Each structure stands twice: as C-alpha cells, then as structure tokens.
Amino acid sequence: MPQLALDDALAEVRAALLDRGGLRRAVASGARRGTTPAWRRVEVRPVQLKAGERLQVVRYDERQAFTANAAWPEEAATAVDELTAEPFAHWHVETDQSTLQLRVTKKGDALLSRSAPTGSATTRSNDRPVEHLLAPDDPLFGVLGAGAAKRRQVDSFLRVLAGVEAELPDGPLRVVDLGCGNAYLTFAVHRYLSRSREVQLVGVDSKAQSREHGSDVARRLGVEDAVRFVEAPIADAPLSDVDVVLALHACDTATDDALAAAVRAGARLVLAAPCCHHDLQRQLREGAPPDPYALLTRHGILRERFGDVLTDALRAAVLRLVGYRVDVVEFTAAEDTPRNVLLRAVRTGAPPTEELRRQYADLIAAWGLCPALAERLAPELAAAAVPG
C-alpha cells in the first residue's frame, strides 16, 4: 500500500468525495492515536431528492444518527472539508472509477490504496441498486456456488467488518474462522481484507468434509498458501497470535466456545453470529422466574425468544467485563437468515465499571442462571472481580 504525506492522501480522499458524477458511497471511521473525532462514524453518498441532487452525510455518535443533505457545489465542499479535517483513522471511498482506501497507522503514516470499483455503476436515487463490497460476479462466488441470498449475507457481514476495520492493527493480519462450514465467509473475508495487506486465514471445523472442501476451494482460487483449513472442535482450535476471530452460526454453546477461545487468544476483533440458544432456554425452563416476570416464561414460544435475547445480552456483558467494547447488531435481512444477530467485539483492555459488575451479578442471581461463556471464562472474570 503506497505511503503518502497525510495532507496529500486526504486531498485524494477529498477529490473522490467531491466527484459529483462518480461518487457512490464513502465511510469514515476509527480514531487516530491520541485523538477523538467528533463522530464515531460518518457515511457519505449522493442522493436525488425533490429539491435536486444532494450530498447526503450521516453522522453517528454513540446513540443515534444525524442526517444532513448538502447542496452542490458550495455546501457539499464545506461538508467534505469539515469531514476530512476530523482525525479519522480510516476512509473507504467508492466511485465509478475506483475504490479508494486510506488508513492512518498508529505512527501517523498515511497508507493509500486504489483498486477496481466494486459492482456496477449506479443511479443517483434513493431506490438505486445495492452496492457490493464484493461484486456479485466475483469469481469467488462462482467457485463456491453461492446463490443470491448467500451473496447478500456475505456482503452484509463484510459491511459490519468494514465498520471496524480501522480498529485492526497495522501490517499483516491473522484471522481464524471457527466453525467455518462451507467457508463462504472464510474466503470472502480473506478476499476483502487482502486487498490492502497480507492476510493469513485458518478455517476450523469439526467435519472432515469441511476441511477437504475448503482446501479444494483454496487451491482452485490459488490462495492455498494464505488460506488453510483444520479439522478440530472449536474448543480445541489452535489459536495463538490471532487478530480476528469469526464464528458464524456455531450451534448453542459452540458459540461460547468460540468467544472464549477468542478472548483467551487476545483477539483484537471478534465477530460472532450465534445460532440456537438451547442451554439458557433449558435453565429458564427448569428454574423459577423472579417476581414479577413469570409471564415472560409462561408460554414456550415466548420463553424461547426471551432465552435468545437473554443469552446474547449476557454474552455481550461477559465480553465487556473481560475488556471488550461490544455492539449487538443485525448483520443481514431476516429473509436471508432468521439468525441475523451479530456480536461485534473490539478488545480495548478497559476494566469493567462497578455498575456493569453489579448489573451482571444481579441479573444472573435473580434468574438463577449460569451462562456458558461465564463458565468458560471463569478465571478472566475472577481477575475482573466479577462474582461467580
């Protein structure tokens, strides 16, 4: 990735953002070392409104989004100048001509890359086609035999990843996909991240078929030196010096195995989409709910749905207690998969607050619960002074 003076790199970003006829979308995120941008994340795109063509800027803080539509050319230029003045660590700008990525390292160096545009050119309206981070006709999908629903799921997952890409360390990345299955995400994540850096990725699955299939696909795509597969249960996965851990739809407590393995390996970023939640649902069924919440678990279907929510809420809390910042998001449409909740955790090392310790301890005590993830991370929780 070419290194430039930061001002020169930002000038290229500014020019791409003000490419009135060619801009598709842009995202700014992350903070340069020792700085705090006014916004957690910013998204920019052209829109066609009744009042005419505008540059739409959506600014996100920790709670909500603020949308403004700037008229061309003066208001748009002013908005772009304000954005590029913010100390964001990462810019991703897509135009009809190219995809531009700027990453500011911890040392303050500006690394700028250009690649071919993703997808096809789009119209300037609120009803324009979806723009893909990996083009639908990418050879990757042909080799994997991925249909439209799977491609949408992959694209949605990559957008969640792109939102925290600036949080990743500089230089080569080590990624592990736990419970990789048919490896759609394994290869898509490698393809996406390796655009701008070296990526070594290991797919882990308990089935020999998954290992053999993944290894065959890697050879067909010519990435067998960078993507390899291991046959092993998630709990026994060989994790060390890992930057990113992925776990998509690992069943029941296998998700807890994956999260615990990621924490013990010190992963910087964890992206996990849970599947079924039988363990806590069983505990709810066998236990007595605290007053006045018996109505929540009286009916089986409601008890199951409540168990889903409670399981992932407790997983998010445990990850926060052991030093991660956690977002719980919907990563794809429900029609593509009903299991579309994703835990996105970034390791900060920050100690938990006393309020979080108390809330977590009170919740599990009131319901008489023993979360599987808490069992697996008992030493780490003890170190954080969290009652068992």
Note the pLDDT of residue 376.
94
CA dihedral over 25, 30, 35, 40, signed as positive or negative: positive
CA dihedral over 89, 353, 292, 366, signed as positive or negative: positive
Note the pLDDT of residue 118.
55
Residue 39: DSSP 8-state: S
**Alpha-carbon distance values, 56 to 25, 121, 129 (Å):** 10, 18, 17
Note the pLDDT of residue 160.
87
Note the pLDDT of residue 120.
43
**Domains observed in the chain:** 3-115 (no CATH), 139-383 (3.40.50.150)
Average confidence (pLDDT) per 10 residues, the chain, 388 residues: 77 92 88 90 86 88 79 93 93 88 87 71 45 78 84 86 84 92 92 88 93 93 93 85 90 92 94 89 92 90 92 96 91 58 91 93 94 94 79
Note the pLDDT of residue 338.
54
Note the pLDDT of residue 127.
45
- 74 — phi, psi (to 5°)? -65, -50
* Alpha-carbon span 19 to 23, nearest angstrom: 5
Q: Is 263 helix (H, G, I), strand (E, B) or coil?
A: helix
Note the pLDDT of residue 109.
87
Note the pLDDT of residue 277.
86
Note the pLDDT of residue 152.
83
Note the pLDDT of residue 125.
44
